[in-house]
Amino acid sequence: MAKKALLIDYEYCTGCQACQVACKQEHDYAVGQGGIHLNQIDVTLPNGRLRTDFLPFLTAYCDGCAARVARGEQPACVKHCQAQTMFHGTVDEMAEAMDDKPHSVMYRL
């Protein structure tokens, strides 16, 4: 079986936290725990303008929604991503998709 991966194109992440909420509800994690965490990164550009990026990253609690994937469903974070910046597939598929997404990260599950 091909190894699975999660691809996050953080260039378009709006920071809505839907991924965090979906993960927490799917797995009923305790307060302070979750399979995905959203970092906010504020950068002052050379022209003096502020740029805010959001970078979701997987934590040690992430199991790739193994039960959902076994049923043929997408991981909860992917399904509920409002900006549609999260993708799930094989490592090879996600690596190929990264070619068109310069501001992306891939996590092997």
pLDDT digits (tens, 9 = 90+) for 67-102: 999 999 999 999 999 999 999 999 999 999 999 999
Q: What is the CATH number of domain 4-108?
A: 3.30.70.20
Is residue 6 within 8 Å of 93, Cβ to Cβ? no
Contact between 108 and 54 (Cβ < 8 Å):
no
Task: State residue 41's pLDDT score.
Answer: 93
Provide the residue count of the chain: 109
When pLDDT is averaged across residues 32-54 and rounded to a whole number, the result is: 94
Q: Is the pTM of this model over 0.85?
A: yes
